Amino acid sequence: MTEPTTALQEQVSALGPFFTFETHAAGSELVSPWRRLSEVARVESGVLEERVAAVRATLAAGGGRPAEAVELRVAASVAHLGLVARVVSPLLGLAALRGLPSRPPTLDDLRWHSGLGGAFALSLPRETIAAVATDDAVATDDAGAGAAGALLEGPVRDLVEAVAAFSVSRHILWGNVASAVNGATAGIVSAAPALARPARSAALLMLRHPQLRDAHTLDPRNGRFRRRSCCLIYRAAPDAAGAVCGDCVLVRR
């Protein structure tokens, strides 16, 4: 690993737990406990089903109830939000520092090992980081919009389609994506205020993409973000009376 690549990895990872990542050589042999993230999107693997079940049990335990008391689609939506936030965050961190990768990694390129209760371990192809570190990245212009589109139409869409099979509407799932983009941006601004402008510019490239354009609103007066859907987590509480997230469409203005 070259020094610029190491430095960039450390800078992104310093932004917070959801930005932290390790690296591997593209196409290299898997070494336990690492697995390809693409297995989440393959129905036959059963990995997503297991993760949703685990999230369901955790949500239910928080209210002192059996897992069956939480709707499956609620657990699936919450699991999806965590997955997509983990994928988007380090790439937005790279974008804030150097620009969006011109060729974002696919789910098959990404590696992970599972964990609940926080950010799971994630590994990105070393070549992706090296390309960004050596200026093979795109700025916030038309080329940047193309790179943002490739990310959203590639690994992000794959996760959306996989979770949609759990009877979660795509309107909710794309709202989760918009929320993840906004959340990652807020995390960058909080950890490194000097990166606020490039982080917000990169986020706008994603939020203006057709898939996310109707999934949120941005107040032109103060830039406040609000999604146009709900991740459904409030329904995990007894009597579906849980709190909603700060960016939720259900929050009273």
Residues 87-123 have pLDDT tens digits of 999 999 999 999 888 889 999 999 999 876 678 999 9
Contact between residue 207 and residue 214 where contact means Cβ atoms under 8 Å apart = no
The alpha carbon dihedral of 120, 245, 150, 51 has a sign of positive
Pick from 22-26, 115-119, 183-187, 223-227: least confident: 115-119
From residue 24, alpha-carbon distances to 47, 57, 85, 134 in Å are 22, 32, 21, 17
**What values do phi and psi take at 164, rounded to 5?**
-60, -25
pLDDT tens for residues 139-154? 546 678 888 999 999 9
Task: Please tell me the pTM assigned to this model.
Answer: 0.94
DSSP state of 217: E
Ramachandran quadrant class, 120 (left: phi over 0; alpha: psi -120 to 50; beta: rest): beta
d(CA 190, CA 15): 9
pLDDT above 50: residue 1: no
b/e map of 52-87 (b: 16 or more CB within 10 Å)? Answer: bbbbbbbbbeeeeeebeebbbbbbbbbbbbbbbbbb
Angle at 116 between CA 113 and CA 119, to 5 degrees: 70
What is the secondary structure of 86-151 as a DSSP string?
Answer: HHHHHHHHHHHHT-EESSPPPTTT-EEE--SSSPPEEEEEHHHHHHHHTT-EE-SSHHHHHHHHHH
- Cα(35)–Cα(43) distance, integer angstroms: 16
Lowest-confidence segment of 16-20, 70-74, 231-235, 240-244 by average pLDDT:
240-244
- Please compute the mean of the pLDDT values over residues 72-83 and round it to a whole number: 97
